[in-house]
Structure formats: structure tokens, C-alpha cells
Structure 1
Amino acid sequence: MSLSATVPLQAFGVSPLVVVGGLLLLIAIAAVYSAIEIVEAYEKEALTVFGEYRELLEPGIHVIPPFVSRTYPFDMRTQTIDVPQQEAITRDNSPVTADAVVYIKVMDAKKAFLQVEEYKRAVSNLAQTTLRAVLGDMELDDTLSRREMINARIREELDEPTDEWGIRVESVEVREVNPAAGVKQAMEQQTSAERRRRAMILEAQGERRSAIEQAQGAKQSDIVRAQGSKQSQILEAQGDAISTVLRAKSAESMGERAIIDKGMETLENIGQGESSTFILPQEMSSLLGRYGKHLTGSDVSDMAKANGQGELDSLNFDAETRELIGLDNIAEMAGEIEQTEVDVEEMEEQAQAIQEGEDLDADDVIDERE
């Protein structure tokens, strides 16, 4: 048989030694290729020889037994596992659906290789059951508003079993929690009603506040009007009082001047007589003195001061009222027309006595004729 096998090779002109050498070369190349293992920087690989676990290969180049060795790579970076959408019934019997994302990292590749089959799928399945359990233990309002608590509880439930697998759960994020369509519609109606209620409350509070502000404004306005009316009445009354005083002073001054004028007319009549010497009573002398001052333009107020009388009484008003009505200025103006007080009855008696000169007592009048 060997002769028959070598005949075809010789027929093609190929030496059997060349064939054997080529086969040995191919086997050597395959052996070298299978004996060299390159581990990436972010990986570790579990090595088995004849199915027996040997070691973890670190990043770099490794020489392993060819043809009888197998390697299983493990990504040592943080990995993301999507948890499919899950349906659950909350504690208050409301159906909800939720999905999540789990972030894991391989901490011990040997445990992940020996303790669990396909650790990613195992973590995903465990996260699904845990998510349903956590949602079922909560009420609907909590599932919608307390997202952080759900994340923390799922992570806590995953920590213990995944530690045995050499896996660390870094975080869990629940992406969506959706109630059933009917429940969602009822919640929207409830939310709308609550918003309308709040709007009505705010509107009522605004109207109440506006009414209070208007009432306070009206009150302040009434107070200001009342104060203004009171002040006006006070000023009007004070003005009337001052006007009355001025009119009285003016009338008094005019009355005195009338008496003086009348007395002078009487003296003029007496002076037309033949007598050149007259003895006048003291009252007539005083009258002439006043008349002389009147003719010479002397300030009558000097006589008033000499008699102990001051300027026009400015009335006993408070300082604020005096300033408002300008009372000090009025007193100054009144001082310019003020005249000395004259006893009207006394002046009338003197004028009557002058007119009735023939009835004067002989002791008071001495007629010296030339």
C-alpha cells in the first residue's frame, strides 16, 4: 500500500518528505498561534486547561498550552444592563409599568466565572424581579414621587446576591413609572380639579386683599378729608375773630377822631368870642393834646405804650395755628392802625360840656376882657 500511495505523489512530482514537512509547519504555526494569548488592558481572562480552571490572565501577552487551553474574557469596566419594562400592582391595587437601568462592575472575575453562568443575564433577571417586588410594596403616589427611594431599595436587594458572584452594583436608575391608562386619566382629572381649586383660592384671596386695601384707602381718605375740614373751620373761625377785632379797633379809632373833630368845632366857636383868655378843664387839655398829636402825625401807638397798652392782642393760639394763619403778620398790620383806647362816654360828656359852654361853672372859666 505504501507503494501505491507513493506512486501518485511521484506522478505529480511531489516528494513525500515535502508534504510531511509542510504538515509539520502548519501544525507548528497553529500551535504557536494558540499558545499566545493577548489580554486587553480593560479585561481579565479565565484560563482552563483540559477544562480545569488554572488562573486569571492579566492584561498583556501570555503563553498558554496550545490546543488544550481555553480563555474566557471578562470586561472589568462599568457595564450597563437595561432592565425591560415590568408590570406590577402597587399596594393600593393600582397597576403600573416601570423600567430601569443597572450599572455593574466585575470585581472578582474568578467568582464571576465559577459562581454564575452569564452574569449579565443573571443580574438582569434579578433586577426585574426586585423591581416588581419593590413597586408592589409601595403605594401609587410613592411610586410616582419617591424615585430615589425605589432606586435605593433595588440596589440594596441586588447587593447581597451579586457580591457572591463577584459583581458590584454601582447604581440603579428607574427611568419611568407609568400608571395604567384609566388611572392616569383619573389622576389627570384630579390634578386639574386641584389646580382649579387652588386658582379659586388664590382669586378669592386676591379679591379679599383688594377689598381690604380699598377699605383702608377709603378710611385714610376720610381721615384726611375730616382733618382738612376741621383745619378749614379752625382757620375760618380764627379769621372771623381777627376780622372782628380789626373792625372794632378801626371803629374805636374813627369814633375818637369824630369826638376830636366835634370838640375842635366847639373850640372854634368859643374862639370867635371877644374874650382872649380861656381856662379849659383838664379833660379838654387832654383832648387838645391828642388832637395835636393827630395833626402832627405822631405815632399814636407811643401814647398807647405810655398808657401801658401793648400791640393788638394776637389771641392765645398755638404756635402751629399762628404760623398757618400768619397771625404775627396780622398783629403787625393791626399795630399800624391801632389807636389809644378812649373812654367813649367820657369824650361824649366832654363834647357836650363844650357845646353847652354857657352852663360851665364860674370857677372853671374866668373871662378877662380887654
Structure 2
Amino acid sequence: MSAQGPPDWLLTGIGLIVGFAAVLAVFGLDPVVLISVLALILLVATVLSAIEIVNAYEKRALTVFGEYRGLLEPGLNIIPPFVARTYTFDMRTQTLNVPPQEAITEDNSPVTADAVVYLRVKDAKKAFLEVDQYKTAVSYLSQTSLRAVIGDMELDETLSRREEINRRIHRELNEPTDEWGVEVESVEVSEVKPSADVQSAMEEQSSAERHRRAMILEAQGKRRSAVERAQGDKQSNIIRAQGEKQSQILEAQGDAISTVLRAKSAESMGERAIVDRGLESLQRIGESPSTTYVLPQELTSLLGRYGRRLTDASVQEAPGLESQDFDMETRELLGLDDVDDIAEGVESLTNGDTNNTEIRLEETEEN
């Protein structure tokens, strides 16, 4: 806010004209001419004093003989000459630097802080009538609020919670400045600086913390490396064990197949002997003079198998051997149980058929 009366150049001009008129009077100038000159000077001064030009971003408070008469809006304004004074208010956002303030935090740490306040006059009448020098008033209030807010916080909070400090100072400034017609738009704390001793201690603490983190990272790296190495060894051992297991399984399956084939061959040779015995019985029947022959049906069904045995057909390898043990499942799969049953059946049939054939032959001879 600035107070304005008649312009300085106007007063200077009036003084020069009055001095010039005095010189003319001294040297005997005609009084009529002198009065005319003085009247012209007075008229020009009156017109110039009555004109007030206000900028677009300003408002001016008008007083006449010290009495408030209102606000002058931007543009050309006519005011009472010589007796009026105006006070200019800039309506734009203005910045106010708060000087550095020394404060003590809640944990008794001395700090120095400063801030910047952004404000704007929203009511020029209140700013003129309610407060003297509103910028000075806001500056003093900001300093007090800054010290109070820092005093309610610990050192670490003042360094890390800058936004909260700004909000609290802004909140404390809003209520009183509203009565002054001034709006505080925002507050920004520029710097919070601890004392030299505190800074030294903080640097030592920071160095120790960085060293601790470096050691932790190194230990984590070693641990990770050991874990990876152990996992690699584990996978290698598993793969090696699986390979050995597979090799043993294949070797055992090979042994089992060989054993089964040998057993099958042995059983086949035993069945061959039974077949030979059956053929001998048939030969004896054929040599008999009787013309009537009674042969069991089961023996007929076995003749095809006898033929295959007589052709020396090789034993086929049984598929699907899944175990190295010669268990019931393997015997059933390979047909070893059938071999035993067939061998027993052939032997019993051979004995029975021989007896039946002899009986029939005797009956035929008697007839």
C-alpha cells in the first residue's frame, strides 16, 4: 500500500510558475498580466490534481480530509483536488520472504528455518481500514507461526515432513489475515537447517547407516550365492541318482527278461517231452488191429499245439515285462501257468486215452 497526494512534478511546476510570477512583479509587470498568469497556473494545477488514473491490477482507497470515501476502480477517476489522498493496493499475488528464524524442536535440537508466503489482497477496504501495513503484519505473524510449528515437532519430523509444516503454518495464518482482507494462498518452507553440532552427528550417523547397509548387502549376496550353489549341487545329485536308478532298472529288466526266456525255454522242453509221449501212445493205437478208435475231444484240440511244438518254433519274447521279479502277474502275462496246465492235461489225457484204447481193443477182439 502506498499513499499518494498531488504529483511531485505538479508541485514543482507550480513552484516554478509562482517564482516566475514573482520575478515579473519585481520588475514592474502589469498586474493584470500577473493575475492572469497566476489564474492559469491555478487552473492547470486544479485539473491535474483532480485526475486519478488507476492501473488494471490495482485498487485505490480515497480519503478527503482524512475521511474514507471509497475505492477507486481501474481507469480514469475524478477526485476532489488538493484535499484528497489515495492509497494504492496491488491486487495480484505477492510474495513475502520470511526471514530465517531460530527455533528449538520438541527434542531440544536447535534449527534455523525460513519460508516464503504467497498472499493476495482480496478486500482492499479491510486491508486499508483494519491493518496498518498488511505485509509487515503478515510477515510477523508468519515468523511466529513458523517457530511455533517447529517447536511442536521433533528434528527428524522437521526434516522429513515439510508438507505438514507448510499446511500447519497456512492454517494458522488464514484466520487472522481473513479479518485484514488478505488471503494467504500458500506457504513454502525454504530450508530447515540444524545446528553445526547436530549436522556433524547426523553425518556420522548417516555414514554408519550406509556402512551397515553395505555389510547387509554383502552378506545377502554371499547367502544368495551359497543358496544357488547348494541348489545346483542338489539338482546335480538328483540327476545323477535318477540316472543310476534308471540304469539299475534297465539292467534288472534285462536280467528279468533273460531269466524269463530261459525259464520259458526250459518249460517248452518239458512240454516237448509230454508231446513225444502222447505221440508214442497214438502210434501204439495205430498199430492195433482194431478198426474202432475212441479219442477224447480235448486231445484233438491239442493236436495243433503238438504240431507247432514239432516244428521247433522259437519261443516269442513276452512283451510288457515291467518288473525284475518273476511274480504272478509276469507268469500270467507270459502264459507260464497255461504251460503247466497244458502239460498236466496232456499227461493225464495220454494216460487215460491209452487205457481207453486198450479196453476198446479188447472188447473188439472179444466180439
Does the TM-score normalized on the shorter chain lie above 0.5?
Answer: yes
Question: 1:11 & 1:59 partners in 2: Cα distance?
Answer: 46
Give 1:122-271 correspondences, 5 Å limit.
122-240=137-255, 242=257
Instruction: Classify the secondary structure of the residue corresponding to 2:318.
Output: coil
Question: 1:136 & 1:175 partners in 2: Cα distance?
Answer: 17
Moved over 4 A (4+): 8-13, 240-253, 305-310
Q: Residue 91 of structure 2: which of 71, 76, 92 is its match?
A: 76
Over the matched positions of the two proteins, sequence identity in percent amounts to 67
Question: 2:154 & 2:26 partners in 1: Cα distance?
Answer: 88
Offset of residue 312 of structure 1: 2.7
State the AA in 2 paired with 1:223: I
Instruction: Classify the secondary structure of the residue corresponding to 1:138.
Output: coil
Offset of residue 95 of structure 1: 0.8
Question: 1:246 & 1:106 partners in 2: Cα distance?
Answer: 111
Give 1:109-124 correspondences, 5 Å limit.
109-124=124-139
Question: 2:40 & 2:260 partners in 1: Cα distance?
Answer: 148
Question: 1:188 & 1:10 partners in 2: Cα distance?
Answer: 83
Q: Is 1:53 the counterpart of 2:68 in the alignment?
A: yes
Unaligned runs of 5+ in 1: 1-7, 254-280, 286-300, 322-370
Offset of residue 316 of structure 1: 5.5
Contact 1:304 / 1:310 at 8 angstroms: preserved in 2? Answer: no
Unaligned runs of 5+ in 2: 1-22, 269-278, 284-304, 325-367
Contact 1:9 / 1:16 at 8 angstroms: preserved in 2? Answer: no
State the AA in 1 paired with 2:76: I
- 2:315 aligned partner: 311
Instruction: Classify the secondary structure of the residue corresponding to 2:63.
Output: strand
Offset of residue 158 of structure 1: 1.1
Instruction: Classify the secondary structure of the residue corresponding to 1:67.
Output: coil
Are residues 129 and 242 of structure 1, via their aligned partners in 2, closer, same or farther at CA, if it must alter by over 3 Å? same
Contact 1:37 / 1:64 at 8 angstroms: preserved in 2? Answer: yes
Instruction: Classify the secondary structure of the residue corresponding to 1:144.
Output: helix
Q: Is 1:107 the counterpart of 2:111 in the alignment?
A: no
Question: 1:167 & 1:136 partners in 2: Cα distance?
Answer: 26
Contact 1:131 / 1:154 at 8 angstroms: preserved in 2? Answer: yes
State the AA in 1 paired with 2:92: R
Question: 2:317 & 2:87 partners in 1: Cα distance?
Answer: 123
- 1:334 aligned partner: none
Give 1:273-312 correspondences, 5 Å limit.
303-304=307-308, 311-312=315-316
Q: Deviations over 1:212-270 (max 9, x none)?
A: 332222222212111111211222333355567779999999xxxxxxxxxxxxxxxxx
Question: 2:75 & 2:131 partners in 1: Cα distance?
Answer: 26
Contact 2:58 / 2:89 at 8 angstroms: preserved in 1? Answer: yes
Offset of residue 179 of structure 1: 0.8
Are residues 9 and 180 of structure 1, via their aligned partners in 2, closer, same or farther at CA, if it must alter by over 3 Å? closer
Contact 2:265 / 2:315 at 8 angstroms: preserved in 1? Answer: no
Instruction: Classify the secondary structure of the residue corresponding to 1:72.
Output: strand
Instruction: Classify the secondary structure of the residue corresponding to 1:65.
Output: coil
Instruction: Classify the secondary structure of the residue corresponding to 2:140.
Output: helix
Question: 1:28 & 1:227 partners in 2: Cα distance?
Answer: 119
Aligned residues between the structures: 280
Question: 1:211 & 1:162 partners in 2: Cα distance?
Answer: 66
Question: 2:106 & 2:311 partners in 1: Cα distance?
Answer: 111
Are residues 131 and 209 of structure 1, via their aligned partners in 2, closer, same or farther at CA, if it must alter by over 3 Å? same
Are residues 312 and 37 of structure 1, via their aligned partners in 2, closer, same or farther at CA, if it must alter by over 3 Å? same
- TM (norm. structure 1) is 0.65
Question: 2:26 & 2:162 partners in 1: Cα distance?
Answer: 82
Question: 1:306 & 1:31 partners in 2: Cα distance?
Answer: 155
**Mean alpha-carbon deviation: is it higher for 11-20 or for 305-314?**
305-314
State the AA in 1 paired with 2:135: K
- TM (norm. structure 2) is 0.66
Question: 2:25 & 2:74 partners in 1: Cα distance?
Answer: 50
RMSD value over aligned CA atoms? 3.9
Offset of residue 309 of structure 1: 7.4
Offset of residue 185 of structure 1: 1.6
Instruction: Classify the secondary structure of the residue corresponding to 1:100.
Output: strand
- 2:110 aligned partner: 95
Question: 2:61 & 2:24 partners in 1: Cα distance?
Answer: 46
Q: Residue 78 of structure 2: which of 51, 63, 81 is its match?
A: 63
Q: Deviations over 1:29-67 (max 9, x none)?
A: 111001000111111101111111111111111111101
Are residues 164 and 310 of structure 1, via their aligned partners in 2, closer, same or farther at CA, if it must alter by over 3 Å? same
